[in-house]
Copies of this chain bind each other. A is one copy, B any other.
Amino acid sequence: MDNPPLYRQLADHYRAAITAGTIAQGQRVPSVRAIMRQHGVSLSTALQACRQLEQEGWLEARPRSGYFASSPRRSTVLRLPEPDTGSTPDPAQYVGIHARVSDYIARGRAYPIKTNFSGARAAPSLYPAEELRKAGVRALRRDAHVLVRAAPAGGNRHFRAVLAKRALENGLVISPEEITVTHGCIEALNLALRAVTQPGDTVAVESPTFYGLLQILESLGLRALEIPTSATTGLSIEALELAVRAYGNIKAVVVVPHLQNPTGSIMPDAHKQRLVRLCEQQAIPLIEDDTYSALADGENPSTSLKAWDRSGNVIHCASLHKTLAPGMRMGWMVAGRWQARVAMLKYAQTRDNPDWPQATLAEFLESSAYDRHLRRLRVALRRQRERMAEAIATHFPLGTRMSIPDSGVTLWVALPEQASSSEVFDAALLRGILFAPGSVFSNSDRFEHCMRINCGEPWSEQLDDAVRTLGELVRDAGNAGRRKPGALRPALMPAPVPAPATLGATATWFDAIGDDC
Protein backbone atom coordinates (compact mmCIF):
# COMPACT_ATOMS: atom_id res chain seq x y z
CA MET A 1 0.00 0.00 0.00
CA ASP A 2 1.11 3.56 -0.68
CA ASN A 3 2.08 5.77 2.21
CA PRO A 4 -0.56 8.30 3.18
CA PRO A 5 0.19 11.88 2.08
CA LEU A 6 2.52 13.91 4.25
CA TYR A 7 -0.18 16.07 5.85
CA ARG A 8 -1.99 12.92 6.98
CA GLN A 9 1.19 11.52 8.56
CA LEU A 10 1.58 14.81 10.34
CA ALA A 11 -2.04 14.78 11.49
CA ASP A 12 -1.63 11.20 12.73
CA HIS A 13 1.41 12.27 14.74
CA TYR A 14 -0.38 15.10 16.54
CA ARG A 15 -3.62 13.11 16.96
CA ALA A 16 -1.62 10.39 18.71
CA ALA A 17 0.03 13.01 20.92
CA ILE A 18 -3.34 14.44 21.92
CA THR A 19 -5.06 11.09 22.56
CA ALA A 20 -2.02 9.93 24.59
CA GLY A 21 -2.22 13.09 26.70
CA THR A 22 1.27 14.20 25.58
CA ILE A 23 -0.49 17.38 24.54
CA ALA A 24 -3.17 18.00 27.17
CA GLN A 25 -6.70 19.12 26.42
CA GLY A 26 -6.80 22.90 26.06
CA GLN A 27 -3.04 23.17 25.66
CA ARG A 28 -1.70 25.23 22.78
CA VAL A 29 -0.08 23.14 20.03
CA PRO A 30 2.97 24.33 18.10
CA SER A 31 2.23 27.09 15.63
CA VAL A 32 2.05 26.42 11.91
CA ARG A 33 5.45 27.99 11.40
CA ALA A 34 6.90 25.88 14.23
CA ILE A 35 5.49 22.74 12.61
CA MET A 36 7.01 23.75 9.26
CA ARG A 37 10.40 24.19 10.86
CA GLN A 38 10.27 21.16 13.13
CA HIS A 39 9.14 18.67 10.44
CA GLY A 40 10.67 20.34 7.38
CA VAL A 41 7.32 20.64 5.56
CA SER A 42 5.73 23.35 3.43
CA LEU A 43 3.21 25.86 4.71
CA SER A 44 0.39 24.21 2.83
CA THR A 45 1.21 20.78 4.29
CA ALA A 46 1.33 22.14 7.83
CA LEU A 47 -1.96 24.00 7.29
CA GLN A 48 -3.63 20.95 5.78
CA ALA A 49 -2.63 18.85 8.78
CA CYS A 50 -4.03 21.41 11.21
CA ARG A 51 -7.25 21.80 9.26
CA GLN A 52 -7.65 18.03 9.10
CA LEU A 53 -7.32 17.81 12.87
CA GLU A 54 -9.60 20.77 13.33
CA GLN A 55 -12.17 19.12 11.10
CA GLU A 56 -11.95 15.97 13.15
CA GLY A 57 -12.31 17.98 16.34
CA TRP A 58 -8.82 17.34 17.76
CA LEU A 59 -7.81 20.96 17.37
CA GLU A 60 -9.76 24.10 18.03
CA ALA A 61 -8.76 27.32 16.24
CA ARG A 62 -8.95 30.47 18.36
CA PRO A 63 -8.69 33.72 16.37
CA ARG A 64 -5.26 35.30 16.65
CA SER A 65 -4.18 32.75 19.29
CA GLY A 66 -3.49 29.61 17.21
CA TYR A 67 -4.63 26.00 17.64
CA PHE A 68 -5.50 24.33 20.96
CA ALA A 69 -5.87 20.63 21.71
CA SER A 70 -9.47 19.51 21.93
CA SER A 71 -11.44 16.29 21.72
CA PRO A 72 -13.99 15.47 19.06
CA ARG A 73 -17.60 15.94 19.98
CA ARG A 74 -18.23 12.31 19.16
CA SER A 75 -18.32 11.35 22.79
CA THR A 76 -21.13 13.80 23.35
CA VAL A 77 -23.39 12.07 20.81
CA LEU A 78 -25.47 9.53 22.62
CA ARG A 79 -27.02 6.38 21.26
CA LEU A 80 -30.73 6.65 20.62
CA PRO A 81 -32.91 5.57 23.53
CA GLU A 82 -35.01 2.41 23.23
CA PRO A 83 -38.66 3.05 22.44
CA ASP A 84 -41.45 2.63 24.97
CA THR A 85 -42.99 -0.71 24.10
CA GLY A 86 -45.33 -1.10 27.03
CA SER A 87 -48.25 1.00 25.84
CA THR A 88 -50.73 -0.01 23.18
CA PRO A 89 -50.45 2.06 20.00
CA ASP A 90 -53.57 3.89 18.99
CA PRO A 91 -54.55 3.03 15.42
CA ALA A 92 -56.95 5.95 15.28
CA GLN A 93 -53.95 8.24 14.99
CA TYR A 94 -52.59 6.51 11.96
CA VAL A 95 -54.69 7.13 8.91
CA GLY A 96 -52.56 8.14 5.97
CA ILE A 97 -49.41 10.18 5.79
CA HIS A 98 -50.05 13.71 6.95
CA ALA A 99 -50.90 16.48 4.52
CA ARG A 100 -47.89 18.55 5.64
CA VAL A 101 -45.89 16.32 3.32
CA SER A 102 -47.50 18.13 0.40
CA ASP A 103 -46.20 21.37 1.85
CA TYR A 104 -42.66 20.02 1.80
CA ILE A 105 -43.01 19.08 -1.84
CA ALA A 106 -43.59 22.56 -3.03
CA ARG A 107 -40.76 23.87 -0.88
CA GLY A 108 -38.38 21.13 -1.96
CA ARG A 109 -39.00 22.02 -5.59
CA ALA A 110 -38.50 25.74 -5.13
CA TYR A 111 -34.76 25.55 -4.47
CA PRO A 112 -31.73 24.29 -6.37
CA ILE A 113 -30.12 21.49 -4.36
CA LYS A 114 -26.35 21.51 -4.02
CA THR A 115 -25.92 18.88 -1.31
CA ASN A 116 -28.40 16.03 -1.15
CA PHE A 117 -28.50 13.97 2.05
CA SER A 118 -32.05 12.79 1.39
CA GLY A 119 -31.66 9.50 -0.49
CA ALA A 120 -30.97 6.05 0.86
CA ARG A 121 -28.52 4.66 -1.65
CA ALA A 122 -24.90 5.07 -2.68
CA ALA A 123 -23.52 7.48 -5.27
CA PRO A 124 -23.48 6.16 -8.88
CA SER A 125 -19.67 5.99 -8.76
CA LEU A 126 -19.91 3.21 -6.15
CA TYR A 127 -21.82 0.85 -8.46
CA PRO A 128 -20.13 -1.22 -11.22
CA ALA A 129 -21.39 0.90 -14.11
CA GLU A 130 -18.87 -0.31 -16.66
CA GLU A 131 -19.25 -4.01 -15.89
CA LEU A 132 -23.04 -3.72 -16.04
CA ARG A 133 -22.91 -1.92 -19.38
CA LYS A 134 -20.71 -4.63 -20.82
CA ALA A 135 -23.07 -7.33 -19.54
CA GLY A 136 -25.93 -5.35 -21.05
CA VAL A 137 -24.30 -5.15 -24.46
CA ARG A 138 -23.57 -8.89 -24.34
CA ALA A 139 -27.20 -9.63 -23.46
CA LEU A 140 -28.32 -7.54 -26.44
CA ARG A 141 -25.93 -9.38 -28.76
CA ARG A 142 -26.69 -12.86 -27.42
CA ASP A 143 -30.42 -12.73 -28.05
CA ALA A 144 -31.47 -11.11 -31.32
CA HIS A 145 -35.15 -10.82 -30.38
CA VAL A 146 -34.84 -9.82 -26.72
CA LEU A 147 -36.33 -6.34 -27.33
CA VAL A 148 -39.13 -7.39 -29.68
CA ARG A 149 -40.38 -10.63 -28.14
CA ALA A 150 -42.84 -10.66 -25.25
CA ALA A 151 -41.18 -11.21 -21.88
CA PRO A 152 -41.21 -14.68 -20.31
CA ALA A 153 -44.02 -15.33 -17.82
CA GLY A 154 -43.05 -14.72 -14.19
CA GLY A 155 -39.51 -13.67 -15.12
CA ASN A 156 -36.38 -14.74 -17.00
CA ARG A 157 -35.60 -18.38 -16.18
CA HIS A 158 -31.86 -17.85 -15.80
CA PHE A 159 -32.29 -14.77 -13.62
CA ARG A 160 -34.68 -16.56 -11.32
CA ALA A 161 -32.35 -19.56 -11.10
CA VAL A 162 -29.46 -17.30 -10.09
CA LEU A 163 -31.64 -15.51 -7.53
CA ALA A 164 -32.72 -18.84 -6.05
CA LYS A 165 -29.08 -19.90 -5.76
CA ARG A 166 -28.07 -16.61 -4.15
CA ALA A 167 -31.00 -16.89 -1.73
CA LEU A 168 -29.38 -19.98 -0.24
CA GLU A 169 -26.84 -17.62 1.35
CA ASN A 170 -29.72 -16.08 3.32
CA GLY A 171 -31.08 -19.42 4.42
CA LEU A 172 -33.83 -19.54 1.78
CA VAL A 173 -34.40 -22.82 -0.02
CA ILE A 174 -36.66 -21.94 -2.93
CA SER A 175 -37.13 -23.01 -6.51
CA PRO A 176 -36.84 -20.48 -9.36
CA GLU A 177 -40.55 -20.95 -10.07
CA GLU A 178 -41.43 -19.56 -6.63
CA ILE A 179 -39.92 -16.21 -7.61
CA THR A 180 -41.95 -13.42 -9.21
CA VAL A 181 -39.80 -10.70 -10.78
CA THR A 182 -41.08 -7.15 -10.12
CA HIS A 183 -40.31 -3.52 -10.81
CA GLY A 184 -38.24 -2.99 -7.69
CA CYS A 185 -39.12 -3.85 -4.13
CA ILE A 186 -41.74 -1.11 -4.23
CA GLU A 187 -43.87 -3.05 -6.70
CA ALA A 188 -43.31 -6.23 -4.68
CA LEU A 189 -44.63 -4.50 -1.54
CA ASN A 190 -47.63 -3.18 -3.47
CA LEU A 191 -48.46 -6.66 -4.75
CA ALA A 192 -47.91 -8.28 -1.36
CA LEU A 193 -50.24 -5.81 0.35
CA ARG A 194 -52.84 -6.04 -2.42
CA ALA A 195 -52.73 -9.83 -2.17
CA VAL A 196 -53.43 -10.02 1.56
CA THR A 197 -55.51 -6.95 2.41
CA GLN A 198 -58.63 -5.04 1.42
CA PRO A 199 -58.99 -1.26 1.49
CA GLY A 200 -59.74 -0.14 5.04
CA ASP A 201 -57.62 -2.88 6.63
CA THR A 202 -54.99 -2.17 9.28
CA VAL A 203 -51.34 -3.06 8.67
CA ALA A 204 -48.68 -3.07 11.39
CA VAL A 205 -45.45 -1.29 10.45
CA GLU A 206 -42.27 -0.22 12.15
CA SER A 207 -42.13 3.24 13.72
CA PRO A 208 -40.22 5.05 12.34
CA THR A 209 -40.60 3.45 8.92
CA PHE A 210 -39.71 4.65 5.42
CA TYR A 211 -42.28 7.01 4.01
CA GLY A 212 -42.42 5.02 0.76
CA LEU A 213 -44.27 2.36 2.73
CA LEU A 214 -46.62 4.86 4.38
CA GLN A 215 -47.36 6.23 0.93
CA ILE A 216 -48.14 2.77 -0.46
CA LEU A 217 -50.48 2.11 2.45
CA GLU A 218 -52.27 5.39 1.91
CA SER A 219 -52.55 4.88 -1.84
CA LEU A 220 -54.15 1.46 -1.23
CA GLY A 221 -56.57 2.82 1.36
CA LEU A 222 -54.87 0.91 4.19
CA ARG A 223 -54.33 2.10 7.77
CA ALA A 224 -50.84 2.00 9.27
CA LEU A 225 -50.51 0.85 12.86
CA GLU A 226 -47.08 1.99 13.97
CA ILE A 227 -45.25 -0.41 16.27
CA PRO A 228 -42.37 0.89 18.43
CA THR A 229 -39.06 -0.01 16.85
CA SER A 230 -35.59 -0.06 18.38
CA ALA A 231 -32.75 1.63 16.52
CA THR A 232 -30.67 -1.42 17.43
CA THR A 233 -32.89 -4.51 17.23
CA GLY A 234 -35.74 -3.33 15.00
CA LEU A 235 -39.46 -3.93 15.48
CA SER A 236 -40.42 -4.62 19.09
CA ILE A 237 -41.98 -8.06 19.16
CA GLU A 238 -43.48 -7.36 22.61
CA ALA A 239 -45.18 -4.25 21.29
CA LEU A 240 -46.51 -6.16 18.29
CA GLU A 241 -47.87 -8.90 20.59
CA LEU A 242 -49.58 -6.25 22.66
CA ALA A 243 -51.10 -4.67 19.57
CA VAL A 244 -52.29 -8.03 18.24
CA ARG A 245 -53.96 -8.79 21.59
CA ALA A 246 -55.44 -5.31 21.84
CA TYR A 247 -56.89 -5.08 18.35
CA GLY A 248 -57.11 -8.48 16.72
CA ASN A 249 -57.74 -6.86 13.34
CA ILE A 250 -54.19 -6.56 12.00
CA LYS A 251 -54.25 -7.92 8.46
CA ALA A 252 -50.52 -7.81 7.70
CA VAL A 253 -47.16 -6.94 9.26
CA VAL A 254 -44.43 -5.26 7.18
CA VAL A 255 -40.85 -5.24 8.46
CA VAL A 256 -37.33 -4.47 7.22
CA PRO A 257 -35.34 -6.95 9.30
CA HIS A 258 -31.91 -5.89 8.05
CA LEU A 259 -30.67 -2.29 8.00
CA GLN A 260 -34.10 -0.95 8.73
CA ASN A 261 -34.97 2.30 7.01
CA PRO A 262 -34.40 4.86 8.58
CA THR A 263 -32.73 3.54 11.75
CA GLY A 264 -30.33 0.94 10.30
CA SER A 265 -31.33 -1.59 12.96
CA ILE A 266 -30.75 -5.31 12.45
CA MET A 267 -33.20 -7.75 14.00
CA PRO A 268 -31.52 -10.53 16.03
CA ASP A 269 -32.25 -14.04 14.78
CA ALA A 270 -34.12 -14.91 17.98
CA HIS A 271 -36.49 -12.00 17.34
CA LYS A 272 -36.98 -13.10 13.74
CA GLN A 273 -37.99 -16.58 14.86
CA ARG A 274 -40.41 -15.18 17.41
CA LEU A 275 -41.92 -12.82 14.85
CA VAL A 276 -42.41 -15.55 12.25
CA ARG A 277 -44.02 -17.80 14.86
CA LEU A 278 -46.29 -15.05 16.22
CA CYS A 279 -47.57 -14.16 12.75
CA GLU A 280 -48.09 -17.79 11.85
CA GLN A 281 -50.02 -18.49 15.07
CA GLN A 282 -52.17 -15.41 14.57
CA ALA A 283 -52.59 -16.09 10.83
CA ILE A 284 -51.30 -12.62 10.01
CA PRO A 285 -49.35 -12.46 6.73
CA LEU A 286 -45.77 -11.29 7.36
CA ILE A 287 -44.21 -9.16 4.62
CA GLU A 288 -40.43 -8.88 4.68
CA ASP A 289 -38.63 -6.07 2.83
CA ASP A 290 -35.09 -7.37 2.46
CA THR A 291 -33.69 -4.68 0.18
CA TYR A 292 -30.62 -3.79 2.23
CA SER A 293 -29.33 -7.04 3.70
CA ALA A 294 -26.50 -7.45 1.16
CA LEU A 295 -25.05 -4.20 2.53
CA ALA A 296 -24.68 -5.67 6.03
CA ASP A 297 -21.10 -6.14 7.17
CA GLY A 298 -20.05 -9.22 9.07
CA GLU A 299 -18.86 -12.68 8.30
CA ASN A 300 -22.22 -14.41 7.97
CA PRO A 301 -24.84 -13.21 5.51
CA SER A 302 -28.12 -12.22 7.12
CA THR A 303 -30.78 -14.87 7.45
CA SER A 304 -34.12 -13.83 5.97
CA LEU A 305 -37.32 -14.04 7.98
CA LYS A 306 -38.60 -16.38 5.32
CA ALA A 307 -35.91 -18.90 6.27
CA TRP A 308 -38.02 -19.69 9.36
CA ASP A 309 -41.27 -19.86 7.41
CA ARG A 310 -42.83 -23.30 7.34
CA SER A 311 -46.36 -22.48 6.19
CA GLY A 312 -45.88 -20.01 3.35
CA ASN A 313 -47.03 -17.18 5.64
CA VAL A 314 -44.02 -14.95 4.91
CA ILE A 315 -43.85 -12.89 1.72
CA HIS A 316 -40.22 -12.13 0.97
CA CYS A 317 -39.60 -8.95 -1.09
CA ALA A 318 -36.18 -7.82 -2.26
CA SER A 319 -34.39 -5.73 -4.84
CA LEU A 320 -31.06 -4.93 -6.48
CA HIS A 321 -31.86 -1.24 -6.47
CA LYS A 322 -29.62 -0.33 -3.53
CA THR A 323 -26.97 -2.97 -3.85
CA LEU A 324 -26.18 -3.16 -7.55
CA ALA A 325 -28.11 -1.17 -10.15
CA PRO A 326 -30.19 1.84 -9.07
CA GLY A 327 -30.94 2.58 -12.74
CA MET A 328 -32.56 -0.79 -13.45
CA ARG A 329 -35.12 -0.97 -10.66
CA MET A 330 -35.13 -4.73 -10.44
CA GLY A 331 -36.97 -6.46 -7.65
CA TRP A 332 -38.52 -9.81 -6.90
CA MET A 333 -40.66 -11.59 -4.40
CA VAL A 334 -41.33 -15.04 -3.02
CA ALA A 335 -44.99 -14.89 -2.10
CA GLY A 336 -45.49 -18.25 -0.37
CA ARG A 337 -49.12 -19.29 -0.24
CA TRP A 338 -50.16 -16.11 -2.05
CA GLN A 339 -48.02 -16.82 -5.09
CA ALA A 340 -50.88 -17.45 -7.53
CA ARG A 341 -52.75 -14.38 -6.38
CA VAL A 342 -49.60 -12.25 -6.57
CA ALA A 343 -48.92 -13.55 -10.09
CA MET A 344 -52.45 -12.54 -11.12
CA LEU A 345 -52.11 -9.08 -9.58
CA LYS A 346 -48.68 -8.59 -11.14
CA TYR A 347 -50.08 -9.57 -14.52
CA ALA A 348 -53.00 -7.16 -14.14
CA GLN A 349 -50.80 -4.33 -12.85
CA THR A 350 -47.73 -4.25 -15.12
CA ARG A 351 -47.51 -7.64 -16.93
CA ASP A 352 -44.20 -9.52 -16.93
CA ASN A 353 -40.95 -7.58 -16.48
CA PRO A 354 -38.92 -7.03 -19.66
CA ASP A 355 -36.35 -9.70 -20.37
CA TRP A 356 -33.20 -7.73 -21.16
CA PRO A 357 -32.53 -6.25 -17.70
CA GLN A 358 -33.01 -9.69 -16.17
CA ALA A 359 -30.65 -11.35 -18.64
CA THR A 360 -28.08 -8.62 -17.98
CA LEU A 361 -28.27 -8.93 -14.21
CA ALA A 362 -28.37 -12.73 -14.26
CA GLU A 363 -24.94 -12.83 -15.83
CA PHE A 364 -23.55 -10.37 -13.30
CA LEU A 365 -25.13 -11.96 -10.23
CA GLU A 366 -23.92 -15.38 -11.23
CA SER A 367 -20.29 -14.32 -11.28
CA SER A 368 -17.97 -13.45 -8.44
CA ALA A 369 -18.02 -9.86 -9.76
CA TYR A 370 -21.12 -9.28 -7.64
CA ASP A 371 -19.37 -10.45 -4.46
CA ARG A 372 -16.35 -8.32 -5.24
CA HIS A 373 -18.57 -5.31 -5.85
CA LEU A 374 -20.45 -5.84 -2.59
CA ARG A 375 -17.23 -6.06 -0.60
CA ARG A 376 -15.98 -2.81 -2.12
CA LEU A 377 -19.32 -1.10 -1.59
CA ARG A 378 -19.49 -2.13 2.06
CA VAL A 379 -15.98 -0.86 2.72
CA ALA A 380 -16.77 2.45 1.03
CA LEU A 381 -20.04 2.83 2.94
CA ARG A 382 -18.35 2.05 6.23
CA ARG A 383 -15.77 4.76 5.60
CA GLN A 384 -18.39 7.27 4.51
CA ARG A 385 -20.68 6.44 7.42
CA GLU A 386 -17.87 6.91 9.89
CA ARG A 387 -16.86 10.23 8.36
CA MET A 388 -20.47 11.38 8.41
CA ALA A 389 -20.99 10.29 12.03
CA GLU A 390 -17.78 12.06 12.96
CA ALA A 391 -18.87 15.23 11.16
CA ILE A 392 -22.28 15.20 12.82
CA ALA A 393 -20.68 14.61 16.21
CA THR A 394 -18.35 17.51 15.54
CA HIS A 395 -20.81 20.02 14.17
CA PHE A 396 -24.14 19.25 15.80
CA PRO A 397 -24.99 20.68 19.25
CA LEU A 398 -24.81 18.87 22.56
CA GLY A 399 -27.79 16.65 23.19
CA THR A 400 -27.84 15.27 19.64
CA ARG A 401 -28.35 11.51 19.57
CA MET A 402 -27.65 9.12 16.74
CA SER A 403 -28.15 5.55 15.64
CA ILE A 404 -24.68 4.21 14.87
CA PRO A 405 -25.43 1.16 12.74
CA ASP A 406 -22.62 -1.22 11.85
CA SER A 407 -23.64 -1.19 8.19
CA GLY A 408 -25.85 0.50 5.68
CA VAL A 409 -26.17 3.79 3.94
CA THR A 410 -28.03 6.14 6.32
CA LEU A 411 -27.79 7.61 9.82
CA TRP A 412 -30.83 8.41 11.92
CA VAL A 413 -30.21 11.50 14.00
CA ALA A 414 -32.30 12.76 16.90
CA LEU A 415 -31.83 16.48 17.54
CA PRO A 416 -31.98 17.99 21.00
CA GLU A 417 -35.62 17.81 22.04
CA GLN A 418 -36.49 21.44 21.44
CA ALA A 419 -35.28 21.48 17.79
CA SER A 420 -37.72 20.86 14.97
CA SER A 421 -36.26 19.13 11.92
CA SER A 422 -39.01 20.68 9.79
CA GLU A 423 -37.62 24.11 10.60
CA VAL A 424 -34.11 22.94 9.90
CA PHE A 425 -35.41 21.49 6.63
CA ASP A 426 -36.81 24.86 5.58
CA ALA A 427 -33.66 26.74 6.48
CA ALA A 428 -31.38 24.12 4.89
CA LEU A 429 -33.28 24.31 1.60
CA LEU A 430 -32.44 28.01 1.41
CA ARG A 431 -28.80 26.95 1.52
CA GLY A 432 -29.22 24.24 -1.11
CA ILE A 433 -29.11 21.33 1.36
CA LEU A 434 -31.74 18.58 1.30
CA PHE A 435 -32.31 15.83 3.89
CA ALA A 436 -35.25 13.69 4.94
CA PRO A 437 -36.98 15.26 7.95
CA GLY A 438 -38.19 12.95 10.71
CA SER A 439 -41.83 13.90 10.33
CA VAL A 440 -42.22 11.88 7.11
CA PHE A 441 -41.21 8.60 8.74
CA SER A 442 -44.41 8.36 10.73
CA ASN A 443 -48.01 9.48 10.54
CA SER A 444 -47.56 10.85 14.07
CA ASP A 445 -45.48 13.79 15.26
CA ARG A 446 -43.11 11.72 17.32
CA PHE A 447 -40.10 12.02 15.03
CA GLU A 448 -40.39 15.75 14.44
CA HIS A 449 -36.96 16.19 16.11
CA CYS A 450 -35.28 13.53 13.92
CA MET A 451 -33.63 13.49 10.50
CA ARG A 452 -32.28 10.82 8.19
CA ILE A 453 -28.89 11.55 6.64
CA ASN A 454 -27.61 9.67 3.61
CA CYS A 455 -23.98 8.52 3.67
CA GLY A 456 -23.91 7.31 0.09
CA GLU A 457 -21.57 9.98 -1.30
CA PRO A 458 -17.78 9.71 -1.06
CA TRP A 459 -16.61 12.14 1.58
CA SER A 460 -15.69 15.65 0.44
CA GLU A 461 -15.17 19.10 1.82
CA GLN A 462 -18.53 20.08 0.37
CA LEU A 463 -20.25 17.42 2.49
CA ASP A 464 -18.37 18.54 5.57
CA ASP A 465 -19.39 22.15 4.95
CA ALA A 466 -23.00 21.11 4.51
CA VAL A 467 -22.98 19.15 7.78
CA ARG A 468 -21.42 22.13 9.51
CA THR A 469 -24.19 24.33 8.11
CA LEU A 470 -26.83 21.84 9.24
CA GLY A 471 -25.27 21.80 12.71
CA GLU A 472 -25.55 25.57 12.88
CA LEU A 473 -29.15 25.48 11.75
CA VAL A 474 -29.94 22.81 14.33
CA ARG A 475 -28.34 24.96 17.02
CA ASP A 476 -30.37 27.96 15.86
CA ALA A 477 -33.56 25.93 15.85
CA GLY A 478 -32.77 24.60 19.31
CA ASN A 479 -31.96 28.05 20.68
CA ALA A 480 -35.18 29.47 19.33
CA GLY A 481 -37.04 26.94 21.45
CA ARG A 482 -39.53 24.45 20.20
CA ARG A 483 -42.13 25.95 17.92
CA LYS A 484 -44.80 24.75 15.62
CA PRO A 485 -43.38 23.75 12.21
CA GLY A 486 -43.27 26.78 9.99
CA ALA A 487 -43.84 29.27 12.79
CA LEU A 488 -40.43 30.87 12.38
CA ARG A 489 -39.66 31.12 8.71
CA PRO A 490 -36.42 32.67 7.50
CA ALA A 491 -36.85 36.05 5.87
CA LEU A 492 -36.04 34.76 2.38
CA MET A 493 -38.56 31.95 2.59
CA PRO A 494 -41.54 32.15 0.25
CA ALA A 495 -44.93 31.84 1.89
CA PRO A 496 -45.90 28.22 2.49
CA VAL A 497 -47.80 26.62 -0.33
CA PRO A 498 -51.22 25.44 0.83
CA ALA A 499 -51.40 21.65 1.08
CA PRO A 500 -53.66 20.31 -1.68
CA ALA A 501 -56.74 18.48 -0.52
CA THR A 502 -55.89 15.37 -2.54
CA LEU A 503 -52.82 13.23 -2.27
CA GLY A 504 -51.91 14.35 -5.72
CA ALA A 505 -48.97 16.59 -5.28
CA THR A 506 -47.18 14.24 -2.90
CA ALA A 507 -45.33 12.59 -5.74
CA THR A 508 -43.20 15.53 -6.61
CA TRP A 509 -41.90 15.87 -3.15
CA PHE A 510 -40.83 12.28 -3.08
CA ASP A 511 -39.15 12.83 -6.40
CA ALA A 512 -37.12 15.67 -4.95
CA ILE A 513 -36.29 13.66 -1.86
CA GLY A 514 -35.25 10.75 -4.02
CA ASP A 515 -35.92 8.00 -1.52
CA ASP A 516 -36.88 4.76 -3.10
CA CYS A 517 -36.28 1.11 -2.56
- By a beta-carbon cutoff of 8 Å, the part of chain A in contact with chain B is 119, 121, 124, 127-130, 132-133, 136-137, 140-141, 144-151, 153-154, 183-184, 186-187, 190, 194, 198-199, 212, 215-216, 218-219, 221, 325-329, 338, 340-341, 343-357, 500, 502-508, 510-511, 514, 516
11 contacts between A and B (CB under 8 A): A119-B150, A130-B144, A136-B136, A153-B508, A183-B183, A212-B348, A327-B356, A338-B504, A341-B502, A344-B505, A348-B507
Q: Is B145 a contact of A351 with CB atoms below 8 Å?
A: no
The smallest C-beta distance from A380 to any residue of chain B, in angstroms, reads 14
Residues of chain B within 8 A (CB-CB) of A348 are 186, 190, 212, 215-216, 218-219, 507
**Shortest distance between the CB of A251 and any CB in chain B (Å):** 15
Which of B147, B183, B349 touches A129 (beta carbons < 8 Å)? B147
Q: Are A503 and B341 in contact (CB under 8 A)?
A: yes
Q: Tell me the complex Cα distance, A357–B357, Å.
A: 10
- Given A327-B151, A340-B500, A502-B341, A507:B347 Cβ within 8 A: yes
Q: Is the CB of B327 within 8 A of A149?
A: yes
Is A326's CB under 8 angstroms from B149's CB? yes
User: Closest chain B residue to A348 by CB distance?
Assistant: B219
User: Quick check: A129 and B144 within 8 Å, CB to CB?
Assistant: yes
The distance from the CB of A53 to the nearest CB of chain B, in whole angstroms, is 35
Which chain B residues lie closer than 8 Å to A187 at the CB level? 349-350
- Minimum CB–CB distance from A281 to chain B (whole Å) comes to 23
Contacts of A327 in B (CB 8 A): 145-151, 354-356
Closest to A504 in B: B340
> Shortest CB–CB separation between residue A321 and chain B, in angstroms?
9
Given the complex of chains A and B, what is the CA–CA distance between A132 and B141 in angstroms? 11
Pairwise interchain contact A350-B199, C-beta atoms closer than 8 A: no
**A352 nearest CB across to chain B (Å):** 8
Q: Select one of B130, B190, B338 contacting A349, CB under 8 A.
A: B190
Q: Do B132 and A351 have beta carbons less than 8 Å apart?
A: no
Of A140, A221, A353, A502, most buried by chain B (CB within 10 Å of CB) is: A140
In the bound complex, residues from chain B placing their C-beta under 8 Å from that of A514 are 150
A153 adjacent to B511 (CB under 8 Å): yes
- The reply to whether A136 and B130 contact each other, CB–CB distance below 8 Å, is no
In the bound complex, do residue B148 and residue A351 qualify as a contact, i.e. CB atoms below 8 Å apart? no
